[in-house]
Amino acid sequence: MEFVQAVTAYQRAGDRHIINSILEDVETDFLANTSRRYKTNFTHDISINLTSPEEYIAYRIKAIREKAVKRVFYIRKDSGWAHSEINRYLSIMVLDLRMRIPFKPVRHNDFGYEYTLTPEFTAWLREKNGRIERRFREEGFGSSFMQYQRALDVAERTEREAVIEETRIRAEVMADMVGALEYALKYADVSRSPREIVTYVNKALLTRYYEAQARRKGMRRVTVDGRRRMIAPFYEGAFRTILGVNFTEDYVYRRVSSKQADFLRELIGIVETDMAAGDCAAYHVLPDGEYRLSRKYAAEKTGLPYLTVKMRLLRIRKLITERVA
């Protein structure tokens, strides 16, 4: 099925062939593509020649995913000394002990070798641990073996934690990307050329992905001065969230009826429980970022009619503000 036809089939009948095809292409080894190169020496923009519109979208998704994965550097940062130390000992093994290491170094010269410590590499080192220790001691490096072991323990543990985190991030990004891709393809203009559709989809992907990531961090989209933007909401206390005013509980409860006080206590319990759990999706967010209780949500939680909740809160707010005046 041609690209535009596949997009049309998704829009009209929900045929997910185009989505499945793009997601499969994400696992393509684009680094092996010989046409891939930086456009200039001063930017990170990449030029690459691919065979289909689907691949250009897949390439964008993979680029975003792998950029997110690079955030894992913070896990490896504090154990950088261990990687350097191990590479020093690996250089001794190759240059001084004449041991053969069946992994390709990232770089090397007459003075040393540098390897990437993958799980496969560290597993091989563990398997050959007895032989390595014997060769160290035979050649007079016995005192260094314990230091090598300590560095290997740290590097291996760190790499294991980093791989787990990388796997989590990849899964999280792809979950967000599926939603972003569905949205972008749904609203793509199929009267346009494949290249124009790809350009639109790739821009929409980036926007929707960052919005999804922002929501994961608790950010919310609001309208400020006619413009939509993401902000970090904040909580100013239960009374403020319910009524939008700042008064002490003692002041409010002395000025409302016992029935109104019971109603407020029920709402306060709901708000405080939600905020403690971080379950704030049903709350409004004002342009300044402050949470405000939705009257509809309050009605659902209390089991009262929406109009009853709305009017009770209006009467309570009017009562306490008028008394101040």
**Domain stop point among 161, 183, 217:** 217
pLDDT of residue 325: 44
- Decide if 227 is inside a domain: no
Among 144, 162, 143, 146, CA closest to 79: 162
Count of structural domains, the chain: 2
- Decide if 249 is inside a domain: yes
Average pLDDT over residues 288-297: 92
Among 63, 170, 171, 163, CA closest to 116: 163
- Decide if 228 is inside a domain: no
Residues 169 and 269 in one domain: no
pLDDT of residue 197: 95
Using pLDDT thresholds of 50, 70 and 90, give the confidence band for residue 321: confident
Residues 22 and 56 in one domain: yes
Structural domain of residue 36, as residue ranges?
A: 1-217
Average pLDDT over residues 85-114: 88
Residues 155 and 242 in one domain: no
Tell me which DSSP letter residue 41 carries: S
Residues 58 and 181 in one domain: yes
Average pLDDT over residues 185-192: 94
CA dist list (Å): 13 to 9, 16, 53, 210, 255: 6, 9, 21, 28, 59
pLDDT of residue 193: 94
Residues 52 and 122 in one domain: yes
pLDDT, the chain, mean:
87
Does the pLDDT of residue 44 top 70, yes or no?
A: no
- Decide if 208 is inside a domain: yes
- Decide if 76 is inside a domain: yes
**Tokens 């490096």, residue located:** 141
Note whether 181 and 173 are within 8 A (CB). no
pLDDT of residue 14: 93
Residues 112 and 34 in one domain: yes
78 sits in which H/E element: none
Residues 53 and 16 in one domain: yes
- Decide if 86 is inside a domain: yes
Note whether 25 and 64 are within 8 A (CB). no
Average pLDDT over residues 141-161: 84
- Decide if 251 is inside a domain: yes
Residues 61 and 152 in one domain: yes
In whole angstroms, what is the distance from residue 310 CA to residue 177 CA?
39
Residues 200 and 78 in one domain: yes
Using pLDDT thresholds of 50, 70 and 90, give the confidence band for residue 291: very high
**Domain stop point among 167, 186, 217:** 217
Helix (H, G, I), strand (E, B) or coil at 112: strand
Residues 209 and 312 in one domain: no
Using pLDDT thresholds of 50, 70 and 90, give the confidence band for residue 278: confident
**Mind listing the pLDDT tens digit for each residue in 236-263?**
888 899 999 888 888 888 889 999 999 9
Q: How long is the chain?
A: 325
Note whether 211 and 230 are within 8 A (CB). yes
pLDDT of residue 32: 81
pLDDT of residue 312: 94
Using pLDDT thresholds of 50, 70 and 90, give the confidence band for residue 41: low
pLDDT-above-70 percentage for the chain: 95
pLDDT of residue 208: 87
Average pLDDT over residues 20-36: 88
Average pLDDT over residues 24-44: 76
Residues 149 and 34 in one domain: yes
In whole angstroms, what is the distance from residue 322 CA to residue 57 CA?
59
- Decide if 230 is inside a domain: no
Average pLDDT over residues 221-247: 85
Among 60, 14, 278, 21, CA closest to 173: 60
pLDDT of residue 241: 93
Residues 187 and 284 in one domain: no
Using pLDDT thresholds of 50, 70 and 90, give the confidence band for residue 226: confident
**Mind listing the pLDDT tens digit for each residue in 203-217?**
999 888 888 877 777
